A = this chain, B = another copy of it.
């Protein structure tokens, strides 16, 4: 067994920087039996499973302390991200109490959040236990929501590379799918071909069921399973939403094909016009997506293109974080609808990787849907996927 902890070490460095930036004295990640109930942050700052009660303390002054069960101490030491690894035999609380007393932090940030699932890894029972066992510190507990959101959202160099690789592989698979799509193939055929393309590379999909395959305009677009009842036909669109997990990081891309009739010179007019509008909306979102933007502002920029042209608005957000998962962080680039809660008021930061996605149903043809993956930097947007700038035509 070989493990690679490059990302975890990068994230630990980042976490210390964020504690300083946000002026939080100490961040405590507190877990147990993580193979059954994992804190999503542990994957970023440890990359191992823990059995007994375990505490990971990072401080503004740069201390990195792990307090773990005796049998887990060796692997945490080997992982190399913690300056001090304290193995205990009987009871974690005297050790934790001693460390906290020595450091005397003004705030102890814990992983709980009403808004962000990635920052809500502390189970309520463990929160109760902390309050019972550390009564002197209970009034210093604060939410680590803001810290976790930035730590997860600002991708490290290695994280960006991993996402790029997953996107690259997905684009190779999409090339093969383009060759595979011919009239009379069913949506289920295309789904199964795509799954096989993933399986031969030892990969799984970014979500389930994936890919989504939509043929023609009678189909319902969404988290649907591909069905054999829909058949590729000339004069129709094929639309797919696809992503893979590669080396723990994901891609998420939508593409659209047109199946040309034998006698057609080019793409029928309504298709080209509406594709160009979708592309225009994507570019409007991209233009609005920069460090400091608020989530809903980015969505509004793309939505305005739809309204300007009297196209029915897309019923979802224009973008979300991707990284270890396809919804990888708090800030959503979405409209101010109740469903999205506080997530659309989040601030875009350099290092964020977002999807930009939208589409429309064109009666008689099918769904024109686009989804690109982009990296936000202080020097402008980086397109990680190769943007689709024209409908792909199948002769």
Contacts and interface: CB of A to CB of B under 8 A. Distances in A.
Given A90-B337, A208-B49, A327-B36, A125 B114 contact: yes
A339 B117 contact: no
A25 interface: no
A314 interface: no
A116 B114 CA distance: 23
A337 B127 CA distance: 23
- How many copies of this chain does one complex carry? 2
A121 interface: yes
A243 B36 CA distance: 17
A309 interface: no
A158 interface: no
A348 B92 CA distance: 27
Interface residues of A, number: 49
A143 B209 CA distance: 34
Contacts of A39: 37
A225 B39 CA distance: 25
19 contacts: A1-B225, A33-B117, A36-B117, A36-B327, A37-B39, A37-B117, A51-B327, A89-B339, A90-B337, A90-B338, A110-B124, A112-B123, A112-B124, A112-B125, A114-B128, A119-B125, A120-B123, A122-B123, A124-B127
Interface of A: 1, 32-33, 35-40, 49, 51-52, 71-72, 89-91, 110, 112-129, 132, 143, 207-209, 222-223, 225, 325, 327, 337-339
